[in-house]
Amino acid sequence: MTKKPSGQRPKMPPRRVVRLVWRTHRALYRVTRGRLGLWRPRPGRWGAMRLTTVGRRSGIERSVILGYFEDGPRLVTLAMNGWGEGDPAWWLNLRANPEAVVELAGNRGAVLAHTAEGDERARLWAVPAAGRDSSMGGRGRS
């Protein structure tokens, strides 16, 4: 992987391509009834999990498939809106109600989310930068 000069964002595909990939991934998950579409992280690679939150305004359950990595027993994801502007809805939902359900390849369980701050945030941000898949890098919150 070639390093970019400091402050320069990596080249990303057009937003419509990102959205098409998201829709295709969700459809694969739905069509296979969850048999495909989720995977555990491996060394140097992120995993895919399904996060279900409660809508902060609607009160309706909302699910999204996210990339993540493990920090010991904890699951870490970056609150990115597909590299676009604004906060993702699932992040705003978690801020309003941190209780959620996570589905991993082979597991499902309740989680309590929190925002990484200070030294913890710096340590977790260093993980994607230190060799994790570059698609987990970029802007966002962990």
How do residues 114-135 score in pLDDT, each as one tens digit?
999 999 999 998 876 655 444 4
Question: Is the separation of the CB atoms in 113 and 94 below 8 Å?
Answer: yes
Q: How many whole angstroms from its chain centre is CA 86?
A: 15
Q: How confident is the model at residue 97 (pLDDT cuts 50, 70, 90)?
A: very high
Task: Report the percentage of the chain scoring pLDDT > 70.
Answer: 81
Predicted local distance difference test score (pLDDT) of residue 134: 46
The more confidently predicted of residues 22 and 57 is 57
Is the pLDDT reported for residue 45 higher than 70?
A: yes
At residue 20, the 3 state secondary structure works out as: helix
Predicted local distance difference test score (pLDDT) of residue 136: 46
Burial label for 138, CB within 10 Å (0-12, 13-18, 19+), is middle
Q: Cα–Cα distance between 36 and 26 in angstroms, integer?
A: 10
b/e per residue 99-111 (b: at least 16 CB within 10 A) = ebebbbeeeeeeb
Predicted local distance difference test score (pLDDT) of residue 22: 84
